[in-house]
Amino acid sequence: MKMVTLLSGNDMPIIGLGTFKLRGRDLIHKCLQTALEAGYRSFDTAAVYKNESDIGDCLIELLPKYGLTRNDIFLTSKLAPKDQGANRCREACLTSLTNLKTEYLDLYLIHWPGTQGRKPGDQDNPRLRRDSWRDMETLYKEGKLKAIGVSNFEQRHLIDLLESCEIQPHVLQTEHHPHLVQSSLVEFCRHHQIHFQAYASLGTTTDNNKLLTDPTVISIAKNNSKTTAQILLKWAIQQDIGVIPKSSNPDHIKSNMDLFSFELSKEDLARISGLDSQHHYCWDPRGIL
């Protein structure tokens, strides 16, 4: 497993298992077991996924079976938009720790730059996320969070945060794939030593898997004797961008980890990047003040 050393000093696997829409203890147990067997050591969840408690239970049961302890895995969760703001953020984070049955999180993210119940242009949005960040800085100093970051932030949101924070964000997790290449945001993060982690690397089923069925991606996959999913994920990690693919299919979970046995050529990387259409398949934060 390739590791990324965050500005906080801790190491983060470049590949993690996403758990969005994974619900129910039996399904989560099966997915986590398959992932651990395949070599995953990073797991990404969020309060809004409503699966933290089941993930916590399953990890407590499964880790000893593979000779692992809590310290051997990297666990990420996120602040729900409804819990944005001073003290609310702290309470929400402590609830996530309780649900996940852990004394600390390896990474905690502000899930969204806005606040639930407030309009995108609400003048309080910047203040509320700054208040959340101060809570997270305190939790980081207390050792309850090993690294802190944000999700779905645009560059202007990051600039606002960098101007007011004491501890800068260690990670930005956001939508990034060949149909939404965020080159300037990637470069901004690299300049500020913020690890860039992509979600929705494979697109979404609601958009009929347009990424997985893209003719260019299919052609490159055939030439490399790999799946289209492996090509899309490799495109990211070969650029040192983290990925957190989600799947409930055991075969897909395993194959999504098999990304270190091949390299894409410069020509293939360029062809894939050339598919950019600036299309969001998921949340679009552009309207959030």
DSSP string, 202-250: T--GGGTTTTTT-HHHHHHHHHHT--HHHHHHHHHHTTT-EE----S-H
Is residue 164 scored above 80 in pLDDT? Answer: yes
**Nearest Cα to 86, choosing from 129, 32, 132?**
132
Is residue 173 scored above 80 in pLDDT? Answer: yes
Q: Stretch 219-230: mean pLDDT, rounded? A: 97
Residue 49 is among the residues annotated as catalytic for this protein: yes
Looking up tokens 């003040």 gives 289
**pLDDT on residue 207:** 74
Domain ranges of the chain: 3-281
On whether the CB atoms of residues 169 and 161 are closer than 8 A, the answer is yes
| Residue 269 to residue 52: CA distance in whole angstroms | 36
Is residue 246 scored above 90 in pLDDT? Answer: yes
Q: Stretch 159-168: mean pLDDT, rounded? A: 97
Fold for 3-281, please state it. Answer: TIM Barrel (3.20.20)
Q: Calculate the CA 184 to chain-centre distance.
A: 19
The total of other beta-carbon atoms located within 10 Å of residue 87's CB is 11
**pLDDT on residue 133:** 98
| pLDDT band per the 50, 70, 90 thresholds, residue 25 | very high
On whether the CB atoms of residues 125 and 77 are closer than 8 A, the answer is no
Q: Annotated binding site for substrate, which residues?
A: 111
Is residue 204 scored above 90 in pLDDT? Answer: no
On whether the CB atoms of residues 137 and 169 are closer than 8 A, the answer is no
Is residue 206 scored above 80 in pLDDT? Answer: no
| pLDDT band per the 50, 70, 90 thresholds, residue 193 | very high
In this predicted model, what pLDDT tens digit does every residue of 97-132 receive, in sequence order? 999 999 999 999 999 999 999 999 999 999 999 999
**pLDDT on residue 42:** 98
| pLDDT band per the 50, 70, 90 thresholds, residue 159 | very high
Looking up tokens 């091949």 gives 262
In this predicted model, what pLDDT tens digit does every residue of 57-103 receive, in sequence order? 999 999 999 999 999 999 999 999 999 999 999 999 999 999 999 99
What does pTM read for this prediction?
Answer: 0.96
**pLDDT on residue 156:** 97
| Residue in 49, 108, 199, 281 annotated catalytic | 49
Of the chain, the percentage scoring pLDDT greater than 90 comes to: 97
Q: Calculate the CA 183 to chain-centre distance.
A: 18
| pLDDT band per the 50, 70, 90 thresholds, residue 286 | very high
| pLDDT band per the 50, 70, 90 thresholds, residue 1 | confident
On whether the CB atoms of residues 259 and 214 are closer than 8 A, the answer is no
